Amino acid sequence: MIGFIKGKVLGSFVLILILVGVGGLNVGATGEIHGVVGYSDEVADFSVSNVVGTFDATTIDPAFDAGLIAELPVEIIVENKGSSSFGAYRLERTEDGLYGYNPDEQLTISGEVSTRIPMEGAKKNIFGKYDPDQLEEVILAIEELDSYEYQELEYLTGAKIDIDEPGDYYVMFRIKGTMGATEAFIKVVEPEKETEPEMEQEEAPEIVAAIPSKVRVILDGAEISFDAYNIGGNNFFKLRDLAYSLDQSGKSFEVRWIEEDRIIEIQSGESYSEVGGEMEAGIPTENRGFINRSPILYNGEEIELLAYNIGGNNYFKLRDVAERLDFGVTWDAESRTVEIKTENSYVEEIPQKQIF
């Protein structure tokens, strides 16, 4: 196992110091393609797919040009031309908390290279080498290289490394005839998985799986088609849809978004002002919800109310809204029906198979 610092091999067991924890972490909502630059800020030397976060890898070693967190599966693709060296290596930690890699265990590369191979009938000189005029430049698939005596290969744009196991990886790209290299530390993780719904949670998660909820909703005797999501076993309704539907009842309420302060304001007893898009159908089959961090004012007082932003709209748990506005909500598990009665007061119920 050999360690590394920018462009230098330091010995048989000299390894990079790893910090306890990664500072300056920036996490994205979904995986994106991230271009890693080193030789020029205008051209990425290689790209990494499914990146969900970044961090300052120079705190591990000043050699790194990027620190990335990516979800499986990951593709690393050459974007710049003229790469004489391109590779990825699995990093291992020692008991001392240091990282190192084995240069003989490079991850498989696919794609094409430009190289020079001996012409037919070419013979080596007394020094055991071919004269330059006996070599021809060709483009070969990387898997064909073992069939030739080749010299001075260059990885072409599109050459690719696939990573299909979680772990820490070192990626290096070097252009022919230049000093240094473009290097990245990539932490590859399993993709986020949905967990079994929990009826009670001490703390709401930041990002959740939001699944369209297939339930009937009866409002004061009339069936209404709501776009609702099931999040962790609970039904979440779009706040503006609820305000629109309850507007002609005795439980009407206004919803305002105060842009300058990024505040959600709910005022009971007022008529609802439409903004467009209320009760529109056609939600996706699956999505993610992001916990709402905007303050919520209810009748002028700030309250804590769990809400998730899905597709640009805020969704609230139906029973939380019912409790605040004091209207009745019941659940029939057999027919999978939610019934809302605005003339009734809210009563806390023991959930059957679904909580609202």
Cα dihedral 100/68/284/226 (nearest 10): 110
More confident residue, 1 or 305: 305
Domains held by the chain: number = 2
Token representation of residue 63: 């050699």
Q: Do 36 and 183 fall within a single domain?
A: yes
Average pLDDT, the chain: 83
Output the CA–CA distances (angstroms, integers) from residue 142 to 46, 137, 201, in the order listed: 17, 15, 52
pLDDT per residue over 44-75, tens digit each?
999 999 999 998 888 778 889 999 999 999 99
For residue 36, tell me if it sits in a domain. yes
The values of phi and psi at residue 232, to 5°, are 60, 30
Q: Are residues 222 and 163 in the same domain?
A: no
Q: Are residues 223 and 179 in the same domain?
A: no
Please name which of 243, 268, 255, 211 lies closest in space to residue 318, comparing C-alpha atoms.
Answer: 243
3-class secondary-structure state, position 323: helix
Per the structure, the complete domain to which residue 274 belongs is given by 207-341
Q: pTM (2 decimals)?
A: 0.50
Arithmetic mean of pLDDT, 292-304: 92
* pLDDT surpasses 80 at 174: yes
* Torsion angle, alpha carbons of 160, 165, 168, 173, to 10: -10
Contact indicator for 245, 279 with CB cutoff of 8 Å: yes
Residue 232 within any structural domain of the chain: yes
Give the pLDDT confidence score for residue 235 in this predicted structure: 86
Q: Are residues 31 and 97 in the same domain?
A: yes
User: Is the domain of 181 the same as that of 253?
Assistant: no
Specify the pLDDT at position 228: 86
Same domain for 287 and 169: no
Return the higher-pLDDT residue of 164 and 41: 164
Query: What confidence score (pLDDT) does residue 267 get?
Result: 95
**Residue 215 reports pLDDT greater than 90:** no
Residue 221 clears pLDDT 70, i.e. is over it? yes
Cβ-proximal residues to 218 (8 Å cutoff; 6+ apart), any chain: 224, 337, 338, 339, 340
Is position 258 within any domain? yes
Cα gap 119→114, rounded to integer Å: 15
Cα–Cα distance for residue pair 223/236, rounded to 1 Å? 18
In the prediction, which pLDDT does 225 show?
A: 87
Same domain, 160 and 21: yes
Distance from C-alpha of 25 to C-alpha of 328, rounded to nearest angstrom: 44
The reply to whether 116 falls in a domain is no
Residue 285 lies in a domain: yes
Residues 215 and 326 in one domain: yes
Cα(51)–Cα(53) distance, integer angstroms: 6
pLDDT value of residue 21: 38
- Please indicate, yes or no, whether residues 55 and 176 belong to a single structural domain of this protein: yes
Kindly state whether residues 275 and 184 are assigned to the same domain.
no
Nearest to 88 by CA among 142, 7, 169, 15: 169
In the beta sheet, which residues pair with residue 35?
47
pLDDT in tens, 10-37: 333 333 333 333 444 454 445 799 999 9
pLDDT over 90 for what percent of the chain?
49
Q: What is the CATH number of the domain that holds 78?
A: 2.60.40
Q: Would residue 37 count as lying in a domain?
A: yes
Instruction: Report how far Cα 160 is from the mean position of its chain's Cα atoms.
Output: 21
Whether residue 150 is contained in a domain is answered as: no
**pLDDT (average), residues 315-337:** 90
Give residue 348's pLDDT. Answer: 78
Banded model confidence at residue 203, pLDDT cuts 50, 70, 90: low
Give yes or no: residues 8 and 106 share one domain.
Answer: yes
Of 168, 170, 139, 172, nearest to 156 (Cα)?
139
pLDDT of residue 197: 52
Among 12-16, 104-108, 242-246, 299-303, the minimum mean pLDDT is found in 12-16
Q: Any long-range contacts for 135-138 (C-beta under 8 Å, 24+ apart)?
A: 138/114
Tell me whether residue 122 is in a domain.
no
Cβ partners under 8 Å of residue 350, min gap 6: none
Q: Are residues 175 and 232 in the same domain?
A: no
Among 8-12, 93-97, 150-154, 244-248, whose mean pLDDT is lowest? 8-12
Q: Give 13's contacts (C-beta < 8 A, 6+ positions apart).
A: 1, 2, 3, 100
